[in-house]
Structure 1
Amino acid sequence: MSAAVRPGHHETTLDEARRRARVDEDGHVFALSSSAEAQAATAEAATGEAATGEAATGEAATGEAATGEAATGEAYVGQYPGATVEEALQYFTRKFDELYNRALLLRARVETAADSAKALRESRDALLAELDGGAWVGDTDSLRSILTALGEGIDARAVLEKEQAEKAVAEHLAVREEIVAEAERLAAADPATQHWKSAQQRMGELFDAWKAEQKKPPRLTKSQEDPYWKRFRAARSTFDKERRAFFSHRDKEHGEIKKVKEELIARAEELQHSTDFGPTTKAYHRLMDEWKACGRGARRTDDAQWTRFRAAQDVFFAARDAANAEVDAEYGANLEVKEQVLQELEKLMPFSAPDAVRDEYHALLARWDAAGRVPRGDVKRMEGALKRVQDAFREAEQAHWRRTDPETMARQNSMLAQLDETIAGLERELADARAAGDSRVIAEAEEALEARLSWRRMIAEDG
Structure 2
Amino acid sequence: MVAMTSSSPADFGRVDPDGTVYVRTTEGERSVGQIPDSTEAEALAFYVKRFEALELEVSLLERRISSGALSPEEARHSITTVTANVTGANAVGDLDGLAARLQALAPVLAQATEARRADRAKQAEATKATKEAMVAEAEQLALGNDWRGGVNRFRSLLDDWKALPRIDRATDDALWHRFSAARTTYTRRRKTQFAEQAEKREGARQLKEQIIAEARPLAESTDWGTTSGAFRDLMARWKAAGAAPRDVDDALWAEFRGLQDQFFNARQSTLSQQDQEFKANLDAKESLLVKAEAEIVPVTDLAQARAAFRSFAEQFNALGKVPREAMRGLDNRVRALENAVRQAEDAEWKRTDPEARARAEETVAMLSNEIDKLTEKIVKAEARGDNRAADKARDSIATYQTWLDQARETLADFSR
Larger radius of gyration: 1
